[in-house]
Structure 1
Amino acid sequence: MTSLKKKTVSGLKWSAIERIATQGIQLVVMLILGRMLGPEAFGLIGMLVIFIAIAQIFVDSGFGNALIRKQDRDEKDFSTVFYCNIAVSITCYLLIYFGAPYVSDFYNEPELTSLLRVLGINIIINAISLVQRTKLTIDMDFKKLTKSSLISVFISTLVAFSFAFCGFGVWALIAQRLSSVFSNAILIQILVPWRPKKRFSKSSFDELFGFSSKLLLTSLIDTIYKNIYQIIIGKLFSSVQVGFFAQAKTLSNTPAMTITSIIQRVTYPMLSQMQNDTEKLDAAYLLTLRLSAAVIFPLMIGLALISEPLINVVLGQEWSESVPLMIILCIGYMLYPIHAINLNLLQVKGRSDLLLKIEIVKKIIITLILIITIRYGVKAICIGMLAQSYISLLINTYYTGKLSSLSLFKQVRSLAPIWLVCIAIGSFNYFLSLTLSNDVYKILVMLTSSLVLYILYIRICQKDLYENLLNSIVK
């Protein structure tokens, strides 16, 4: 086994452990806190997420991906990025601190001023360890990232529950996020005791920013549009409606984003090293697409199937309005890893300019869909999100086909059988669930039946995928 292959296998294993374990724990914690705190607390946090997310985009500025892609990176590059991260993070926090009252006025929620000012501290803390995390990603040393993430998740869970039990309400969610970022930053410093050894270099900045600037704009546009729904719902409806939407979105996109994040974190540095071998690169990407679909498609259909009994059992009837939203979003997020992998290819090819162009086109379409659906309520907004997901696939694959052999037709031909079988199995189990009345029985029967039928299909009709998935799990 080659050194690169060993690193990839090890990286995939530890990245999978880290993402699945941390996201799984956080999801369970969110469900428990959701039952304890109610929709309004989550709605208030949902109104603030976009401001922290945008600030984080500016702090990173795409430098992390630029460092990973650059083959001759040196200490001068790392030091320059570190100074940029710190300077931008302080600037962003000051803007958030003094802008917090205006956010409160916009939503007509006075409590948001203090919440945003405290939550914004995360931006500075996170910036301190960005370079160390990038270095670990370059080395594919996901074992250390896993250790720091798991420990910080356990610490933040204890803090959140302590605040919730003591009756601090929404501040339990703020405490959870702060303690998670703070403990993770300390652990990363211990595991990777790096300090900048060079001065800021303008030449290094210019070279890295030449690539990362497009990623910055792309990520900024994408982040705004990913979170714009909470802003609109919070402004036009209420914090409770934001809570319903935010919980449905979290439950539906966590599996898709977790699996995608595992794949991207490992394959991006690996595939960047084979960027000059077109045939090998295209074959690796097509296999990655098929493996991703083989995992994500059934997972999202299964989650949509059990959404009603799951929310009834775990969150309670208070959250019932989240059920239809979650079903719609699950079907939309099925395609999330396919979008991400297609766009990842453009990064590997060094076409950050195309990424920016694609995001602008897609966001114009999203804006038009949002204008049409917003007058009909939150459910219509979710249907619009589903529609734009499938439209985005057409746009992403068009440009991917220009730079590789992975055309829209080739991708659809490879993925359609899995998609159709998942829909068929899901439909069968939906009608099966109508014969059951107990929510726990519904969850167990639908998941068991879906899993058995799907494994049989993969084993008989997609033998190469079955063997690859089995080997990956065993390894």
Structure 2
Amino acid sequence: MTFLKRVVQFLDRADGSLQRKAVRSGIWVGLSSAGVAVLSFARSIILARLLTPEIFGLMAVCSMAVRMIEIFTETGFGAALIHRQQRFEDARDTAFTLMVLRGAGLSVLAFFIAPWAAAFYEQPILDSLVAIVGISFVFTGCQNVNAIALQKELDFKRLTYLEQAGTALNFLVSVGLAYTLRSVWALVYAQIASAAINSILSFVIVPGRVRFRFDFAIAKELFQYGRFITGLVIVVFLTRELDNAVIGKLLGMEALGYYVIAYTLANIPSTYISKLLAKVLFPMFSKLQSDKIGLAVEYGRGIRLVIGVVVPVSVGIAVLAPEIVAALYGPQWAPAVAPLQILAVFGCFRALWMLNGYLYNAIGQPQIDFYVSLARLIVMGALIYPLAVSYGIVGASLAVTVPMVMQFIVGVFLSRRLIGVPVATSARPFAVAVLQGGILGAVLVSAKLFVTSDPIIGLAVLIGLGGVAFVILHAQEVLAAWRARKTHAVFARDSR
């Protein structure tokens, strides 16, 4: 009980060294990510049971059009504020003013973009969908900018409360609307409600006042830092949405619906690990930007942690793809299995690359991430049309995955050049994780021969066996870490 009390007291504090803040923040973000993952996953399963693949395809195109408006006007102010070392309060107020104005402007812009989206995809309903979803920009633009200040100081307790409360309310609203309406409008209204809920909660949970104030000099500085962030998010948007755009145009809304579900499942590891990395490691890297040795050490720890988790999980998703789709979504979603298996590889390397991207932003060189991502976009653009025409959504999945693997390999060598991280820092744990993943995959494939034919029970048994195998495979590493910590504690006691 004393140990539990000490843990609670540790999590409740906001002071301490940079490493203690990072550990505390990691725990908070980990708890938040776990809660969000469970609710989001449950939400996707329920919605897939209530709605058709065509509805998911329509909403994917609608969301793509809305994100295009948002991304092409991205300011990069969040990263600029975290990186900023002086006059933070003045910069915060200027950024908030610009964000509110931008949100209102984007809402109007969505109204004019909507007819173009409807005409391009020959879906008249998109005219109304895109215009109405654009209302959400007004709410997102008004969110409390003080949340960035908490992130900058690695204080994630209130941010965890904010994210958990928003996700829970969004779950209830989305499921309720889907059950009642059984149409694409359920997803549209849920997106607007989610933006409004998050904006209101940000002022209820996050402390600090916001003011409308504009400083031209500070705005110029924010834009100068953010210009490569803006370029990067445009490139990332294009790489993320090019597949949806091509599939929706060439193969139709139903095929796009299958692909969206496969992509969402495959990216579960990278989606939630990236949140943890962005919120914890990026601020920590920023504080260490003048200490290359410290940066290299923390980067090494981060890459080992990410590799040790995402590689086995991605292997499990690929091997269990037929069981996952059958048990969670039903037989009508069977065409999503093959792309899910390919995209599991994409999700793995995407998570590994993200650590590099945050490193480049933290040391004030966001242009590196921009140029490397641009190269990935060019390769993907050359592959996706011929592969999608020849092999459908399986070909599109390959066109997305191959450039992502190449991008991570480039990142390994760039990290060596920038902060002196040896290639072995990434290569050695990756090789070990691949070996462990191969063993895990063999265990799961063998277990499939003996599990029950009931899809839900069978999947539960397989996941349980996979979890046990994962723990056994990592037991030696955990034991080594425990022994090292014990030796360190004895040495510290004897040195007193």
TM-score grouping bracket, smaller chain normalisation: over 0.9
Residue of structure 1 in register with 2:468 after alignment? 452
Q: State the 1:124 CA deviation.
A: 1.9
TM (norm. structure 2) is: 0.89
1:432 aligns with 2:447: yes
Structure 1 Cα separation of the partners of residues 334 and 421 of structure 2: 41
1:147 aligns with 2:173: no
| 1:232-247 equivalent positions in 2, closer than 5 A | 232-247=246-261
Residue of structure 1 in register with 2:368 after alignment? 354
Q: Give the total of aligned pairs.
A: 469
Structure 1 Cα separation of the partners of residues 34 and 245 of structure 2: 29
1:23 aligns with 2:37: yes
Over 3 Å counting, the alpha-carbon distance change for 1:94 and 1:306 in structure 2 is same
Over 3 Å counting, the alpha-carbon distance change for 1:440 and 1:74 in structure 2 is closer
TM (norm. structure 1) is: 0.93
Over 3 Å counting, the alpha-carbon distance change for 1:382 and 1:70 in structure 2 is same
1:419 aligns with 2:404: no
Give CA deviations for 1:336-391 in whole Å, capped at 9, x if unaligned.
22100011111111112222221222211111222331221111111222212211
The residue type paired with residue 28 of structure 2 is: W
Q: State the 1:273 CA deviation.
A: 0.9
Alignment match of 1:192 (pick from 169, 188, 206): 206
Give the unaligned 5+ runs of structure 1: 470-475
**Same amino acid, percent of matched pairs:** 23
Residue of structure 2 in register with 1:472 after alignment? none
1:110 aligns with 2:117: no
Structure 1 Cα separation of the partners of residues 266 and 414 of structure 2: 27
Structure 2 Cα separation of the partners of residues 388 and 423 of structure 1: 23
Structure 1 Cα separation of the partners of residues 420 and 47 of structure 2: 47
1:396 aligns with 2:435: no
Structure 2 Cα separation of the partners of residues 124 and 59 of structure 1: 14
What SS does the corresponding residue of 1:443 show, helix, strand or coil? helix
**Pairwise CA RMSD:** 2.1
1:275 aligns with 2:300: no
Residue of structure 1 in register with 2:389 after alignment? 375
Give CA deviations for 1:1-41 in whole Å, capped at 9, x if unaligned.
94323322221122112222123202211111111111111
Structure 2 Cα separation of the partners of residues 422 and 444 of structure 1: 19
Alignment match of 1:442 (pick from 439, 446, 458): 458
1:136 aligns with 2:132: no
The worse-fitting range, judged by mean Cα deviation, of 148-157 and 114-123 is 148-157
Q: State the 1:295 CA deviation.
A: 1.4
The residue type paired with residue 338 of structure 2 is: P
1:65 aligns with 2:79: yes
Residue of structure 1 in register with 2:488 after alignment? none
What SS does the corresponding residue of 2:267 show, helix, strand or coil? helix
| 1:41-440 equivalent positions in 2, closer than 5 A | 41-58=55-72, 60-129=74-143, 131-192=145-206, 194-197=208-211, 199-376=213-390, 377-436=392-451, 437-440=453-456
Give CA deviations for 1:143-190 in whole Å, capped at 9, x if unaligned.
212222222222222222222222341111112222222111101112
Q: State the 1:465 CA deviation.
A: 6.1
Structure 2 Cα separation of the partners of residues 433 and 371 of structure 1: 36
Give CA deviations for 1:425-444 in whole Å, capped at 9, x if unaligned.
21332133134433234323
Over 3 Å counting, the alpha-carbon distance change for 1:468 and 1:172 in structure 2 is farther
Over 3 Å counting, the alpha-carbon distance change for 1:22 and 1:294 in structure 2 is same
Q: State the 1:449 CA deviation.
A: 2.6
The residue type paired with residue 202 of structure 1 is: F
The residue type paired with residue 471 of structure 2 is: I
Alignment check: 8 A CA contact 1:291 1:465 kept: no
Structure 2 Cα separation of the partners of residues 51 and 206 of structure 1: 28
